[in-house]
Amino acid sequence: MPKNIILLKHPKNWGLSEVLVVKAAAEALREKKLGSVELSLVFVGRKKAKDLNIKYRNKNYIPQVLGFPMSRVPDDDGMIRLGDVVICTQKLKYEVRFQKKNLEVILKEWMVHGVENLVKPLSPADSSP
């Protein structure tokens, strides 16, 4: 069975359950059947999310989820260091209220989306030297 490592970074007053977040991430990784993976989850506020979106995607809005891929192949220890999924905490809470869905449902959807961003093939523009 694959061994996954889920790293989590968030502000002290983020208002979410670490257990719930790690569970959603683990489920998203299981669905993708990637093998042993290290995944970093970073929860940020609106300003930081928008700043990252401007800096790395040249998009001037607050994103829900950003993905920063690291690797798609296993290291010598067999672990794939997948990269970072960045989630805007306030947008997540807003979507829960707006869509009138359970937090777990939306969180899992966003985790799946974030992991998909990390594993999707590189476009030719991304892979040029």
CA angle at 94 for the pair 31 and 67, rounded to the nearest 5°: 40
Residues near 123 by beta carbon (within 8 Å), at least 6 away in sequence: none
Exposure of 18 in the CB half-sphere (CA atoms within 13 A): 9
pLDDT, position 128 = 38
Alpha-helix residue ranges (DSSP H) falling in the chain: 18-32, 46-57, 89-99, 103-119, 124-127
CA separation for the pair 107, 117 (Å, rounded)? 15
pLDDT, position 122 = 54
The domains of the chain, with CATH numbers, are: 5-122 (3.40.390.30)
| Angle between helical axes of 103-119 and 18-32 (0-180°, round to 10) | 50
Instruction: Please answer whether residues 51 and 62 qualify as being in contact, where contact means their C-beta atoms are separated by less than 8 angstroms.
Output: no
Cα-flanking dihedrals φ and ψ of residue 21, to 5°?
-65, -45
116, pLDDT greater than 80: yes
127, pLDDT greater than 60: no
Percent of the chain having pLDDT more than 90? Answer: 71
123, pLDDT greater than 60: no
- The 10s digit of each residue's pLDDT in 79-89 is 999 999 999 99
Selection from 83, 123, 91, 129 nearest residue 107 by Cα: 91
Please, what is the average pLDDT of the chain?
A: 89
- The 10s digit of each residue's pLDDT in 45-97 is 999 999 999 999 999 999 999 999 998 888 999 899 999 999 999 999 999 99
Percent of the chain having pLDDT more than 70? Answer: 92
What is the pTM for the complete model shown?
0.88
33, pLDDT greater than 60: yes
